[in-house]
């Protein structure tokens, strides 16, 4: 079990992990949105990442905040705003909640919940096919590839969440894993 100090550190550092991908090229990367990522990541040959995401709870995470139950939880925690407007809720339920408007491209929608860029960093600098064909080039342009995914996931899936259920990473990862098939990797 993670100590409370570890959890607090993860919660404080996770936004920095996302920002890390924005600084690698010396430019500010912008969020492009799941549909832009999905333009290439939707075929079976590519691994159907868009389809996997659309069927996941991550894709519906923002919708959850619109519920009366979410508002009751926010109120019980002392928040004065509806859950859908509360930073403590948004930080784990949407991509780009704390990003300036100019850092979000036209197709990006917070309403799409926890999207590709939550984990992989803002995609404007690495989204082109030319860059994405080369993993090293993608990383050089801001793509974040987590070496130990569980550590990143527990930034939100931890006992600090008011709706926390024990997080079994291996079982949950089976539901959302979305690798590129080996024949397409470089």
Residue 31 φ then ψ, to 5° = -80, 130
pLDDT tens for residues 5-29?
A: 444 444 444 444 444 433 443 358 9
The count of structural domains within the chain is 1
Is residue 29 one of the residues assigned to a domain?
A: yes
Residue recorded with tokens 């100090």: 5
Query: What is the extent of the structural domain holding 56?
Result: 4-176
Q: How far is the C-alpha of 49 from the C-alpha of 62, rounded, in Å?
A: 19
CA nearest to 177, candidates 152, 158, 149, 154 = 149
Is residue 107 one of the residues assigned to a domain?
A: yes
Is residue 184 one of the residues assigned to a domain?
A: no
pLDDT tens for residues 67-101?
A: 999 999 999 999 999 999 999 999 999 999 889 99
Q: What is the pTM of this model?
A: 0.79
Contact 127, 36 (CB under 8 A): yes
């Amino acid at each position: 079990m993670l100590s409370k100090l570890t959890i607090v550190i993860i919660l404080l550092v996770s936004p920095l992990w996302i920002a890390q991908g924005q600084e690698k090229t010396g430019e500010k990367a912008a969020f492009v949105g799941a549909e832009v990522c999905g333009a290439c990541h939707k075929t079976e040959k590519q691994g159907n990442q868009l389809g996997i995401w659309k069927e996941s709870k991550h894709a519906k995470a923002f919708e959850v905040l619109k519920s009366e139950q979410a508002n009751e939880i926010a109120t019980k925690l002392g928040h004065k705003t509806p859950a859908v407007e509360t930073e403590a809720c948004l930080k784990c339920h949407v991509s780009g909640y704390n990003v300036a408007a100019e850092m979000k491209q036209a197709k990006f929608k917070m309403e799409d919940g926890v999207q590709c860029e939550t984990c992989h960093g803002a995609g404007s600098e690495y989204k082109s096919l030319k860059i994405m064909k080369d993993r090293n080039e993608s990383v050089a342009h801001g793509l974040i590839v987590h070496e130990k995914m569980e550590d990143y996931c527990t930034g939100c899936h931890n006992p600090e969440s008011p709706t926390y259920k024990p997080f079994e990473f291996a079982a949950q990862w089976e539901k959302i894993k979305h690798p590129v098939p080996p024949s397409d990797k470089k």
